[in-house]
Amino acid sequence: MRAYVALFKSNMLLTLRDRSVLFFNYAFPLMFFFIFAGLFAGAAGTGISFYVGMVLTMGILGNGLFGAGMRAVAEREANILRRFKVTPISPLPILVAAMVSGWLLYLPVVALLIGLAHFGYGMPVPRQWFSLFLMVTLGLCAFRAIGLILAAVTNTMQETMILTQLLYLPMLLLSGATIPSAVLPKWVQTAAEFMPASYLVSGFQGIFFRNQTILDHGPAVAALLATTVLGMFLAVQLFRWEKEEKIRPRNKLWVLAVLGPYLLMGGYRAYTKEHLGLNQAMYRDVQRSGAFLIRNARIFTAAGQTIEDGSVLVRDGKIAEIYQGPGPDPASLKADVVEGAGKTLLPGLIDADVRLSLLGGVSAGNRDYEPAKSMPRAAAALLYSGVTAARSLGDGLDASLELRADIGLGAKLGAQLFVSGPLVASEAARGAAGFPDTLPAAVRKTLEPQLVRTPRTPEEARRLARDFKTAGVDGLAAILDPGWGDGAVADRLDLLLARSVAEEARARKLPLAVRTGDARDVADAVEIGAASVERGSWRDELPGPLLDRMARQGVYYVPALAAAEARARYYGANAAGLTDTLVQQAVSTGVWNATRDLLASGKTADPSKAARDRQAFEQARANLLLVWKAGIPLATGTGAGDPLVFHGPSLHRELQLWVEAGIPPQVALEAATSTAARLLGASNRIGSIRKGLDADLLLVDGNPLEDIAATERISLVVFKGERLHRAALFEQK
């Protein structure tokens, strides 16, 4: 032990006398920190953490590869190690002393960077500080081990420099240590997964931004530990005391053994491509950090208050403050400014009835119907249109849960999803599931099993509900209405099966949405305990006693007038809705053109169905007024995905139809924000402009409280504090 202590003291003294070591250990990281902080001043607050993580990685790279490797070679060439050879000492104490001294000398850099970021730029102190300490320690040990093995397998300082630079420069430039990985080409991002530094960068970002612990990075931690142990073992075995001792060229291959864990992980990531989403998510954390002030706007809070001239401060993805008037000086808040004069700020809109698997139109290419393409595109179209949250009623289970996770993580941008799983329905109700008549037979055959479940016994119905809960859905959905059939109501879902689903939903604390078609369906949905009634009654008037019961039970009513209107337009071969500006922007060119051509061809024309659906639309309007006057909670849902009901623009049309039917604009806007958020059980996060809630916001030109069409005149969409570049939403892969 005395040898270890003596060598450690000697190492520390020699290091502190070496100005180059002090420069690269302390001055070099700090220089880059101030450069990054100056270039990206808008990332103050949590955002500065991104650059702290980058600089920490840069420092660890230099400390390990140059501080350990180059110094070991320099001491061998200066015949310092020869002096130790004559003493009764082995290589292990020398290498351990080098490892410990390098670790101890770097720890002040970590404390200094965090202190500067916290006191100078408002970065919160990391909650998982112990995990941060362990990650720094593992990184230093692993990279110093790599440095020592480089020193062991090279014969001269020139060789060591070349080999070190071959490792250092790619990691410095491509691993995310100096350039965010998400902005690099995908092939470069994949190549970076073979580099140890990439896992340090992702580990630091997870700890800083997502309060992750070191246990959340198990594979990376295991690789760093393996590198440390294997590198030290090989460095001991290949240790040379004198420069005259030469090592064979083939021994350089031992470097690949030390890097072996990263080669394996890189190969796995290249196959799964999961790193691409993780890189986007990390970069999205930066985009959602920092602060900006939307000032001098009309603020519809959706909480019973409208501020005619106010300002909202967004910081680190949350609504930080709400002010009357212009608010404080933005410079004092370290915030960017968004001018809101002449505009209205709303909470992000919510569509409580969408199916992302269906296009709302038709396409000439079957690939457009593939859920892997159609669902992310639909979620992006919703967000493009200011719809920041949506409830999926009847999408494929695995695909919708995967997309919800990707959006929640930040790997993809789209409306926040609340998944209610496939629709539970009768065989006869498959036609009511919204498949357009023109859907290719092959596509329909593929989609139907994903979007609809048809239990035949009560136990099977209960098992479906349990399985959905286990999978992680946010709610359940069923269809009582089987569709129009041949002018009469066909067989609908057996009420015993529907009741079984409802009972299991209550037991599992899952809200049940039930699609209905007439007053009898609505009454049965209320009887079995539905949380919400979708579409209500399009065939007959809702009676007063039923309305009273709905009000007492607090059953939400989601009328989907946009879907009723669209049915009449579809069978009337009426392309009027396609000319809407927002529709032309949000719908893909291929789908828009194919849908226009289909309507122009007259293939969808059916005068009797068009007349029937126009009558259904009028009945739906009348029932909406009755429901509102009865005091029943209203929420907006459009049936997006049904023919001519396009994701995003249809919610703005829904609001317009409500106001045309006689609903006050304020009530309609509350139904699309705060009330819909309560229906989704998310009012503690979204749906209102209130301090502490997620910054999901929609800034529009004009005043939708006077002209509801103003909601379509979108100036800015903010999602979780990120000011979106809307056109780029459709460029995601």
Q: Which helix (H) or strand (E) holds 318?
A: strand 318-324
CA distance 480 to 515: 6
CA distance 406 to 383: 15
Q: Is 669 in contact with 347 (CB distance < 8 Å)? A: no
Residue 498's pLDDT is what? 93
Q: Which distant-in-sequence residues (6+ apart) come within 8 Å of 498 by Cβ?
A: 424, 461, 478, 480, 514, 524, 528
Q: Which distant-in-sequence residues (6+ apart) come within 8 Å of 731 by Cβ?
A: none
User: Does position 185 have pLDDT exceeding 50, yes or no?
Assistant: yes
Q: Which helix (H) or strand (E) holds 714?
A: strand 714-719
Which tokens in the block code for residue 219?
């594979």
Q: Where does 349-664 sit in CATH, by number?
A: 3.20.20.140
| Mean pLDDT of the chain, nearest integer | 88
Which tokens in the block code for residue 193?
């997964």
pLDDT grade for 506, boundaries at 50, 70 and 90 = very high
Residue 93's pLDDT is what? 79
User: Does position 12 have pLDDT exceeding 70, yes or no?
Assistant: no
User: Does position 382 have pLDDT exceeding 90, yes or no?
Assistant: yes
User: Does position 7 have pLDDT exceeding 70, yes or no?
Assistant: no
CA distance 55 to 116: 13
User: Does position 251 have pLDDT exceeding 50, yes or no?
Assistant: yes
Rounded mean pLDDT of 623-640? 97
Residue 725 CB coordination number (10 Å)? 11
Model confidence pLDDT, tens digit, residues 403-430: 999 999 999 999 999 999 799 988 766 5
CA distance 263 to 258: 10
Q: Which amino acid is at 604?
A: T
Range scoring the smallest mean pLDDT among 17-26, 173-182, 260-269, 723-732? 17-26
Rounded mean pLDDT of 670-674? 98
Tell me the domain boundaries of the chain: 2-287, 349-664
CA distance 60 to 521: 66
Residue 13's pLDDT is what? 65
Q: Parallel, antiparallel, or unpaired for β 416-419 and 387-392?
A: parallel
Which tokens in the block code for residue 449?
């099993």
Tokens 């580099």 belong to residue: 195
* Most confident among 112-116, 372-376, 621-625 (mean pLDDT): 621-625
Beta bridge partners of 255: none
Percent of the chain with pLDDT strictly greater than 70: 91
Residue 486's pLDDT is what? 38
pLDDT grade for 398, boundaries at 50, 70 and 90 = very high
Q: Of 180 and 135, which is predicted with more confidence?
A: 135
User: Does position 441 have pLDDT exceeding 80, yes or no?
Assistant: no
Residue 634's pLDDT is what? 98
DSSP 440: -
Residue 488's pLDDT is what? 40
Q: Of 441 and 107, which is predicted with more confidence?
A: 107
Model confidence pLDDT, tens digit, residues 689-733: 999 999 999 999 999 999 999 999 999 999 999 999 999 999 876
* Most confident among 214-223, 476-485, 686-695 (mean pLDDT): 686-695
Q: Which helix (H) or strand (E) holds 131?
A: helix 129-152
User: Does position 19 have pLDDT exceeding 90, yes or no?
Assistant: no
DSSP 711: G
Beta bridge partners of 699: 345, 716
Which tokens in the block code for residue 95?
């290498």
Rounded mean pLDDT of 72-87? 71
Q: Which distant-in-sequence residues (6+ apart) come within 8 Å of 526 by Cβ?
A: 533, 546, 549, 550, 553, 555
Percent of the chain with pLDDT strictly greater than 90: 58
CA distance 291 to 337: 9
Q: Is 419 in contact with 395 (CB distance < 8 Å)? A: yes
Percent composition of the chain: helix, strand, coil (DSSP 3-state, to 5): 60, 10, 30
User: Does position 572 have pLDDT exceeding 90, yes or no?
Assistant: yes
Which tokens in the block code for residue 360?
């709302």
Residue 490's pLDDT is what? 47
Angle between helices 274-287 and 196-210 (to 10 degrees): 40
